[in-house]
Chain A
Amino acid sequence: MDAVTLEILRNALQSVAEEMGVTLTRTALSPNIKDRRDCSTAVYTTEGQLVAQAEHIPLHLGLMPTVVKAVLARFPITTLNPGDAIVINDPYISGSHLPDICLITPVFYRSRPVAVVANLAHHVDVGGSVPGSMSTEAREIFQEGMRIPPVKICRRGVINREIMDIIASNVRTPDEFQGDMQAQISANTAGDRRIQELAGKYGSLKLMEYMTGIIEYSERRMRSGLAELPSGTYTFEDFLETDGVQGKPINIKVSLTMNGESALVDFTGTHPQVEGPVNSTRGVTLACVYYALKAVVDPGIPSNEGLAIPIEVITPPGSLVNPAFPAAVAHANINTAQRIADTMLGALAQAAPERVTAAGTGSMSNFTVGGIDPSGGRYYSYVETYGGGQGAKIDQDGMDGVHVNMTNTRNTPVEVIELSYPLLVNGYGLLPDTGGPGKFRGGVGLYRSITVLRGKATVSVSTERSRLKPWGLAGGHPGASSVLKIKHTNGDTEKPMYGKYTGILQEGDTVILETAGGGGFGDPLQREPEAVRTDVLEELISRQQAEEVYGVVLTGEELGIDHEATKKKRNSAQSVP
């Protein structure tokens, strides 16, 4: 295997995955896939080993590897034909949640299987008890929507309309489903064609040989990166506040053993699976583990099977991080995934504090509104996830109002929300004083305030860190907690517990979601006074916080730094243990 061909085929296969991604996002119907890019596309070996992936959100890093192998176990590739495609969304096979529908297509060259291409996309609705299929109160997977086992949706290039109809009849937005499914089929068709071209150019045997070579390449990079971290065992524990059904904290415990060129990640001691929909399938858990290690070890490692090989992950069956059927799972992606990532980063902070961040906003903060718009009579469903503060780093502030860790979807423009749905956005902005103080400040959280303009609407909101704030590191303070408020037209304001709400809003009601800030890094008394002053001028922190927490005294209209008073203030603050 030569270094030049390796690089060329690695690039070529990565570009196949990216071309599939472009096709998918540009042709999909729903903003969820097209604008927010809640989808991923990938190329696999004929055994279902991931070779190249164009992931738009890291959560799919662990999902895409597991699902194809599981499906090929049921449909051996030798029994498939060119033009076949298999659809699946069952989390107990695919590893994700029901809205993530996966499409898998075998690729043949001169009637021999050479590869598999697949993509996964988050659909607007897959049925279940609430619009958007993201109930915060589901107790079984059956309440979360329609479960599709692996079935052939295309046979020799012909779409099976019966299956399409069965699914379309069970979702609230059938047009979107059909349009998005069509885009998923187009994406795989594009990938299929490209792989065949490569097989024609390089020969199918050589292509297949180099696919394995690319996996080994990632493995080598992961191993040599892991070896740079100090050997030892590092443990950390973090908590979810609730499963949405009962209000007791749920622990996630990890014990991370770095052992030269390999790592062992053991979740033994983590809470048993829970009643509410926050159970994280093993696929989701793996995604979080791989994400944290890739980010800390070498963010540039190509995402494929190889990076997972040196990492052994123990997820006790029946636990929060590997639940048994039929536990509800929809919100694991939103909240549990973020907490598993925090837990991993907490453990890694002990091994390599210079490479991690403090805890970030800690949830994808999901917001779903659906109903019938009286002005057109059509069912609508607005789904969005909100960012918050990024955790601070050893020498860098966290970013403000941004998606962290397991997701990275773009926001829906205010003007598009208002053009598309009977909603009014009253405000969308940053929240001063919510970033965890530190020598380097955690990012501040953000808020969005939305009023239902016409008709009734079902709303489902889910965030976390409403009490257990995002932790800081090395003396950095935690970020501020999240807040959820529902304002009714009669003047009453509800503050649902733990940032979770599912209910019916009347015309004129308003939902305000404020997401948590990121944790700080280092002692705030050591922050450069000039940086504190800039934050005050930018109104990202108040003058009061500058003085009381950062010990920086500002004077006059111009808010100049009073160096003398600052020194005094900081000295006396330090003497307090």
Chain B
Amino acid sequence: MANHKAGAWRAAVDTGGTFTDGCMLNESTGEFHAVKVLSTPDDPSKAIMNVLGRLAEKGGVSLSGLYLLLHGTTVATNTLLERTGARTALLVTRGFRDILRIARQNRPHLYNFRSLRPSPVIPRRLTLEVDERILPGGVVYRPLSREHINELIAQIKQLKPASLAISLIHAYANPVHEVMLKDALEKEIPGVPVTISSELLPEFGEYERTSTTAINALLRPVMASYLDKLQAGLEEIGSEARSGLFVMQSNGGVISSRQAAAECSRTVLSGPAGGVLAGVMLAKKAGRPNIITADMGGTSTDVSLIYRNNPRYTTEGNVGGFPLRLPMLDIHTIGAGGGSIAYIDRGGALRVGPASSGASPGPACYGLGGTEPTVTDANLVLGRLGPGSRLGEGNPLDHEAAVRAIYDRIAKPLDITVEKAAEGIITVVNAGMSRALRLISVQRGYDPREFLLMAFGGAGPLHAAELSRETGISGVLVPRYPGVSSAVGILFADARRDYTSVMVTPWDKIDLEKLTENFKILENKGRVDFAGEGFDPQLVSTRRFVDIKYTGQSYELTMQAPAGKFTAGDLKLLERSFHLTHRSEYGFAREDASLELVTIRVTATASPYAGTGSDIQDSIPAPPSTTGQNRVQPDHRNVVFTGTPVETPVYPRQMLAAGMEISGPAVVEQDDATTIIPPGMRARIDSLLNLLIYVGVA
């Protein structure tokens, strides 16, 4: 992927529930543009084509110049949540047919009898048992016979599945039986894709591994046909991107559409990943390595933590009650957003959410028939949202309706003023979000004072400053395009693939050569896989990690490991950093206790776009008038802060030039978001046109 022809451009498109966001970068001029259109849930590719058309228009380039499309999609997530996956059969070891149905044997709610576990993604009638058994360590205890495979094939043919999943006990330690079955099935039942657990997720824990494998198989045909359709669409517009279509994964890297179809479970949580990536990128650019991202939308808020330019990862993801063990960005979601409904409960406390007014009827101020007061209504009543503002492409907001809803449901029963009630709603919803921020920072050993809060999503910048003060975060960063941050993050994403291998070994029995060898096997696999997709293997970079735990514990910590040949000194260093990390994450370390190596991991990354040097730094358009400090003449309106209406300047975001400083109270408005700078705080526009608010906490 060398230098580009003139007019070559790449684009990122992020499909969301309500809006599809896109942005583009002209590789030869460095020009950057962003657009937002309504999503088309029945056929998401329509909105994507619409975005591409608008981007080409804005950028003055032709569609045929689009050489690379990076895509964040909710197809996998929605297919899983709506239970519209393919007819899938599951093969498990004899005696374990109910792995998915029993799950972890617990119920979702302690006291609510009616709260049910979701029914398994693959029913019992499509689950077959295989006569075979492997022991921990990989010893074959009961071999799998040819005759039995043939019997199974006959049974499976009768079930007429569109996809197949295989997950056998201890297959992570020895994949021989899964591979035998896969080979036979692919031969005898052509056209039906086979997902095996030892390839997708070679780690122990049969329920989570089987769940991940089953979900992958279930989504595979759906994802494949979606991507085929998208590719056909690209072909139709004459784009070269038909061979350069990449899909965002939950781990924050993209994969080729071919791999995305085969390993679609890796894309299930790709939605919020783009926002975190934008955070990582801005963290680097702004020279602020520690960032907490908060993406506040209509019904929920996603928060994540970036430390020293690195986001956190987890393998304990869960979608709709189904675990997905694959590495993913550690994003915590809470049910609080602009549409969250406020109410007085029967104990007399003011509560907000998790019930949401949704898009319809929406907050009372939408004027679509909603009568319940929401967070958005409270922001409008307090003047934080402008009376003339419109949300999306809807009607102007109805101030009166917001006042009425808050008065009827909150102010009157509590016998307080509407403003006080509205401030109460904001305080309560901020407390909930602050709790989420504490959970991902303090509870994991990070000091919020060392972080900036990067606020995006429609509602994030409204709450960010007060939220930071509440949580003890020192400042806020509102990016130039808070409404399309996810797409911006995706536009600059690397391609990434993860590899793991279980190597349960007592620390003092580690064979250094074998360890080095095992890492090399995974690293080679990464290079070969990338080469198979047209990447230069020389440009693939790899990183090593090891999961370590105290003997007898079942929680591991993932530590980065050095490259090259392993030495005894490397192990000593790892051991030391494990104890240190354990102390910072859990408050204590047991230096005298023995350690155990559990899993080794390799992450391989490569850049899907050519490094022409053009970068977001150069590509954000300058504001129309790059006037000096404070020369913009703002409008004014009354905004309520701690019970008092204050005459507050309102700045249009596009008028703010680098270097400008603003003193609170102030409001900054742009098409897709409103930022509040409370009294006593100061803000500055940095060279990347980010809006930085200094919260001034101790």
State whether these chains interact.
Answer: yes
Contacts of A300 in B (CB 8 A): 111
Contact across chains for B114 and A387 when beta carbons are under 8 A apart: no
| Neighbour of B435 across the interface among A15, A419, A425, CB < 8 A | A15
- CB of A468 closer than 8 Å to a CB of B: no
The CA-CA distance from A250 to B135 in the complex, in Å, is 44
- CB of B226 closer than 8 Å to a CB of A: no
Q: Mark B524-545, 1 if CB is under 8 A from A, else 0.
A: 0000000000000000000000
Contact across chains for A186 and B586 when beta carbons are under 8 A apart: yes
The CA-CA distance from A273 to B432 in the complex, in Å, is 47
Contacts of B443 in A (CB 8 A): 19, 22
Stretch at the interface among A92-100, A218-226, A238-246, A473-481: A218-226
Contacts of A12 in B (CB 8 A): 431, 435
Contact across chains for A15 and B113 when beta carbons are under 8 A apart: no
Q: Mark A45-77, 1 if CB is under 8 A from B, else 0.
A: 000000000010110000000000000000000
Stretch at the interface among B47-55, B174-182, B199-207, B565-573: B199-207
**Which residues of B from 139 to 192 have beta carbons under 8 Å from A?**
141, 169-170
Nearest B residue to A4 via CB reads: B424
Nearest B residue to A537 via CB reads: B125
Q: Pick the most buried of B141, B351, B504, B553: most chain A CB atoms within 10 A of its CB.
A: B553
The total of interchain contacts (Cβ-Cβ below 8 angstroms) comes to 186
| Neighbour of B107 across the interface among A224, A390, A446, A538, CB < 8 A | A390
Contact across chains for B95 and A429 when beta carbons are under 8 A apart: yes
The CA-CA distance from A12 to B431 in the complex, in Å, is 8
Count of B interface residues, CB-CB < 8 Å: 62
| Neighbour of B96 across the interface among A218, A411, A414, A418, CB < 8 A | A414
The CA-CA distance from A175 to B551 in the complex, in Å, is 11
Contacts of B98 in A (CB 8 A): 401, 428-430, 446
Given A220-B348, A402-B117 in contact, is the A189-B587 Cβ separation under 8 Å?
yes
Nearest B residue to A55 via CB reads: B110
- CB of A29 closer than 8 Å to a CB of B: yes
- CB of B105 closer than 8 Å to a CB of A: yes
| Neighbour of B552 across the interface among A176, A299, A399, A426, CB < 8 A | A176
Nearest B residue to A194 via CB reads: B442
| Neighbour of B204 across the interface among A6, A190, A415, A430, CB < 8 A | A415
**Which residues of B from 312 to 365 have beta carbons under 8 Å from A?**
344-351
Given A3-B424, A426-B95, A429-B98 in contact, is the A410-B106 Cβ separation under 8 Å?
yes
Contacts of A291 in B (CB 8 A): 111
- CB of A356 closer than 8 Å to a CB of B: yes
- CB of A7 closer than 8 Å to a CB of B: yes
Contact across chains for B349 and A217 when beta carbons are under 8 A apart: yes
Nearest A residue to B116 via CB reads: A399
Contact across chains for A10 and B349 when beta carbons are under 8 A apart: yes
The smallest C-beta distance from B646 to any residue of chain A, in angstroms, reads 21
| Neighbour of B554 across the interface among A7, A35, A426, CB < 8 A | A35
The CA-CA distance from A4 to B117 in the complex, in Å, is 34
Given A419-B204, A429-B96 in contact, is the A217-B347 Cβ separation under 8 Å?
yes
Interface CB pairs A-B, < 8 A, 22: A3-B349, A4-B424, A8-B431, A11-B431, A12-B431, A19-B443, A29-B552, A31-B554, A179-B553, A220-B346, A221-B346, A225-B346, A357-B113, A402-B107, A402-B117, A413-B206, A414-B96, A415-B204, A415-B205, A429-B98, A430-B101, A540-B124
**A-B contact sample (19 more), CB < 8 A, given A23-B587, A26-B585, A449-B95:** A3-B349, A7-B351, A12-B435, A29-B550, A34-B555, A55-B110, A182-B590, A224-B346, A393-B114, A400-B102, A402-B106, A408-B110, A415-B169, A415-B205, A419-B204, A419-B504, A427-B95, A428-B99, A428-B102
Nearest 6 A-B pairs (CB), nearest first?
A: A427-B95, A299-B111, A4-B424, A299-B112, A217-B347, A429-B98
Which residues of A does B touch, CB under 8 Å? 2-4, 6-8, 10-12, 15, 19, 22-23, 26-27, 29-31, 34-35, 55, 57-58, 175-176, 179, 182, 186, 189-190, 217-218, 220-221, 224-225, 291, 294-295, 299-300, 356-357, 386-387, 390, 393, 396, 399-404, 408-411, 413-416, 418-419, 424-430, 446, 449, 537-540
